[in-house]
Amino acid sequence: MSVRATGRKKGKILAVNISSTKGSQKKNVERAHIVEEFGIKDDAHAGQWHRQVSLLAHESIQKIKDLGLDVGYGDFAENLTTQGLDLVHLPVGARLKIGPSVILEVTQIGKECHTRCAIYYQAGTCVMPTEGIFARVLSGGPVQVGDSIEVIKNR
């Protein structure tokens, strides 16, 4: 199903999350700077690779909350928590514009979990491996809670 079919081409940023070490939950810092071809400044996952920024929808996090878990933004190690944009149905190659200048290109949908996280052991499932998306930074700039995020190219 394409983004066009779902009609959800625009949303907003609910959290901007970073961590200083890999393998840990991220903390909402409200605003950050996204660096071209690198990722979010001061985030452990930034670097010269195809998964520079990770995104997860509030709607995906809500699925885990509905199972009775007390989870929040950043608990899935996502950099950007969004609302109102159907991330899971974006194709690889789609481009997203955030705020006035940031452009991301989707490079991967989901990821393989080599080790089960605490959320998986509590709920028997986790949404990041199937509903999280990853992107590289084509154009950097500031990002903050409340910024718009929209699909500008759907492959």
pLDDT score of 113:
56
Q: CA-to-CA distance for 141 and 150, rounded, in angstroms?
A: 16
Mean pLDDT of 15-42: 94
Q: Where are the beta strands (DSSP E) in the chain?
A: 10-18, 27-28, 31-35, 39-40, 53-57, 80-83, 95-98, 102-109, 133-139, 141-144, 148-153
pLDDT score of 22:
82
Rounded to two decimals, the pTM is 0.87
Q: Give the domain range for residue 14.
A: 3-153
Pick left, alpha or beta for residue 47 (phi over 0 → left; psi -120 to 50 → alpha; otherwise beta).
left
66-70, 111-115, 150-154: range with lowest mean pLDDT: 111-115
CATH number at residue 42: 2.40.33.20
Look at the chain and report how many structural domains it folds into. 1
